[in-house]
Structure 1
Amino acid sequence: MNSDRRSVLTAGLLISALGAGSAAAQTAPPMADGLLPPGLPQPTETIDLWPDGAPGFPSSPPVEKTTERSTDALVTDRAVLGITVPRMAVFRPDRPNGAAVLLIPGGGYKHVVVDKEGYEMARWLTARGFTAFVLFYRLPYDGWAAGPDVCLSDAQRAMRLIRHRHAQFAVDPERVAAMGFSAGGHLCADLGTRFAAKTYTRTDEADELGAKPFCAAPIYPVISMASGPAHPGSREKLLGSAPPSDLVKAHSPDKNVPEDAPPFFILHAEDDDVVPVENALLLRAALKAKGISVETHLFEHGGHGFGLRKAIGKPVAIWPELWRNWTRSIGFA
């Protein structure tokens, strides 16, 4: 881990001394028309990533919009687009185990699917002692100055803020993992391979800390941006309709694995008809080639975007426990 543990602890104690108000709810979690399902905890605490506003603001900024896609009154499936205030929704466990997970929902880089691949997994994690942070990241087609690096900027900043404020959440600053789904799996893998890339200018003392996750778990991930294995929608939203080869390589995590990448947990279904399983295999092979520890699970059935809710009743439903057992084996949980 690149972060200086002493400076991290000092920063965390300072945040604790300033009081909880410094990280209380800032930008509210999204709402769509209609009532929320009863009995499902909703986040009341958020952390805006950028104290003076996100860098590289578009000349014609988008307007944030939340759409409810579910037709079931007991299950929400909100998609958020036009994010101009990137942030994290915080889920705290009753008894923290000292480990934190940055959750990165998917959505094809078109929107951020916050329930199925964010809040639901956060509830599962907090029930088992993990502190969870659901990332609302900016979308690359909205005209931000950082272009396709804008999502990685938000992920790097989120990791650093969690470490900076670790004492407030009873989290070990070294034990911060990343988990992402689909296009969020691409961003998770990008963070796990390009954590040291300079994608934004220093904002404050939090940016002195490392962005490298303790471990990374891309779930049914988009990986390659090359024509063929790439998910066409994610590739187009991230890089445009006809990206040059150097841009394709720069944003394909399998082409950018460093010698000091963190351990990876990769999960995919072989019958995924949206993101080909080849994406997971390309990342696994690249990690193995660099001697990076990688746990890989392939399931015959599962399709795409199963998360927790669509895995019920299938063999793939065991996947969260497989991840949890693996984290124990590497000293995370």
Structure 2
Amino acid sequence: MIDRRQALIGTFAAGVATAAGAQTASPRVKDAAIPGLPDPTETIDLWPAGAPGMPKVPPVEIVDERSTDGQLPDRAVRGIVRPRMVVFRPAIPNGSALLVTPGGGYARVVVDKEGYEVARWLSARGWTVFVLFYRLPGDGWAAGPDVALSDAQRAMRLIRSRARDYGIMPDRVGAMGFSAGGHVCCDLATRHATPTYTAVDQADRWSARPDIAAPIYAVQAMTQPLAHAGSRALLIGEAASPALEAAHTPANHVTAQTPPCFLAHAEDDATVDVGNTLAFRAALKTAGVPVETHLFTHGGHGFGLRRTAGKPVEAWLGLFHAWAQSRGLG
């Protein structure tokens, strides 16, 4: 552990990562970025010798641009073979960090609307944000349904191990996830101590438990009728047994060690049933875990930031920021 003054002094002014050697670039499409807001260039590879459990036929990383608006990119990456974090450093760190796991139905990982846009908003308010591009369970990795959790656990440990370099406190590191990335976030919050990989270096001595967690319109249940069919099929298979469904439904793993949670969901979400959030909230309440819950009448699915203008759901990120401050972060 390091004292607060050392952490805040750190080496953030240098603006460089401490890991030796070249890191894998952030996912990108040529010339696809918001004008005036260049993509971040600092990345951290999770696994120094390559990700464990490589499939016999490794996936090929492809970045798709799904937007038809040249002023508003909407990229998504699939076939991730080198999982990594993209770093958003604030001008003046407030001492808190957030690991962000974007959605994508476990078929892809969204880059912009649930990654970079949220990261820019939070880093402007002092947060150091790490957007995680995690491996996908349908690509044949040895860890199977736990592969994204492995990446999230490793990411949390790396962040804490490098706290001094980023001007953050190792006891002020949260997690936020969206949709299927919300399942990763719930999984991390409830199964942070579950061994899913063999330790590779000193960073793995650190805890993977987030100090707070914020699953946003999260996929959570793997049982019907609440399960999101696409995410479920890619995570555990269409013919998964009831035991496998239960094993990968985070509400079943909530304990007193689950961190305080912030939940947000739109009740008119036609993609991921709001019952996912309600079931997770009920499990948190039963376990005595502090939980802040915001349900919005309108907002649909995948609202992020760009689809909230003029709607009550526009307030969600500000509500999270205020709640996080009440918990001693931000």
Tell me the TM-score normalized by structure 2. Answer: 0.95
Deviations 1:84-107 (A, max 9, x none): 000000000001000000000000
Alpha carbons 2:10, 2:165 under 8 Å: kept: no
Q: Distance in 1 between matches of 2:21 and 2:125?
A: 23
Q: Distance in 1 between matches of 2:86 and 2:143?
A: 23
Deviation of 1:36 (Å) = 2.8
Deviation of 1:42 (Å) = 1.2
- Structure 1 position 223 matched with structure 2 position 225: no
Which residue does 1:52 correspond to in 2? 49
Deviation of 1:221 (Å) = 0.4
Deviations 1:221-243 (A, max 9, x none): 01100021000000001011110
Deviation of 1:298 (Å) = 0.2
Alignment of 1:320-331 (within 5 A): 320-331=317-328
Deviation of 1:71 (Å) = 0.5
Alignment of 1:12-23 (within 5 A): 20-22=17-19
Residues 194 and 159 of structure 1, relative CA distance in 2, 3 Å threshold = same
Alpha carbons 2:62, 2:78 under 8 Å: kept: yes
Residues 41 and 319 of structure 1, relative CA distance in 2, 3 Å threshold = same
Secondary structure of the structure 2 residue equivalent to 1:311: coil
Alpha carbons 1:8, 1:164 under 8 Å: kept: no
Question: Which residue of the other structure, out of 182, 197, 204, is the alignment partner of 2:179?
Answer: 182
Which residue does 1:158 correspond to in 2? 155
- Structure 1 position 202 matched with structure 2 position 212: no
Q: Give the unaligned 5+ runs of structure 2.
A: none
Supply the AA of the counterpart residue of 2:195: K
Residues 122 and 217 of structure 1, relative CA distance in 2, 3 Å threshold = same
Q: Distance in 1 between matches of 2:125 and 2:6?
A: 28
Alignment of 1:198-277 (within 5 A): 198-277=195-274
Alignment of 1:36-185 (within 5 A): 36-185=33-182
Deviation of 1:10 (Å) = 10
What is the RMSD of the two structures over their aligned residues, measured on CA atoms?
2.2
Secondary structure of the structure 2 residue equivalent to 1:22: coil
Supply the AA of the counterpart residue of 2:288: G
Deviations 1:225-273 (A, max 9, x none): 0021000000001011110111111110111112211000000000000
Supply the AA of the counterpart residue of 1:238: L
Q: 4+ residue runs of structure 1 moved beyond 6 angstroms?
A: 7-17
Which residue does 1:294 correspond to in 2? 291
Q: Distance in 1 between matches of 2:239 and 2:59?
A: 23
Q: Distance in 1 between matches of 2:278 and 2:17?
A: 43
Residues 216 and 64 of structure 1, relative CA distance in 2, 3 Å threshold = same
Q: Distance in 2 between matches of 1:204 and 1:13?
A: 25
Deviation of 1:41 (Å) = 3.3
Q: Distance in 2 between matches of 1:325 and 1:23?
A: 36
Deviation of 1:189 (Å) = 0.6
- Structure 1 position 315 matched with structure 2 position 312: yes
